Amino acid sequence: MLFKEAVSHRIYELCEKYHFTPNKLAELSAVAPSTLQDMLLLKVANPSSFVIYQICKTLKITIKDFFDSNLFLPENLED
């Protein structure tokens, strides 16, 4: 799996866990809905760490929590 795919999957997981739609998450985190949508649709090659930070801040989780998923294990990611 590519890193951008892992980020997309993780955002979807967190939206489900915290009962947010992607649009609501974008709105509350002050991320442009189009930016978040592009990340979710894998149109962004290198997801922004600032956007991930904004998402984490909105969900009241740490960046460590965001990346604390098997999705990001080296054996699950491609170069």
Q: What is the domain count for the chain?
A: 1
Q: What is the pLDDT of residues 10-66, one digit of tens each?
A: 999 999 999 999 999 999 999 999 999 999 999 999 999 999 999 999 999 999 999
Q: Would you say the pTM of this structure is higher than 0.95?
A: no
Instruction: Quote the pLDDT of residue 79.
Output: 76
**DSSP labels for the chain?**
--HHHHHHHHHHHHHHHHT--HHHHHHHHT--HHHHHHHHTT--SS--HHHHHHHHHHHT--HHHHH-SGGGSGGG---
More confident residue, 79 or 68: 68
Domain holding 28: CATH number? 1.10.260.40
Instruction: Quote the pLDDT of residue 25.
Output: 97
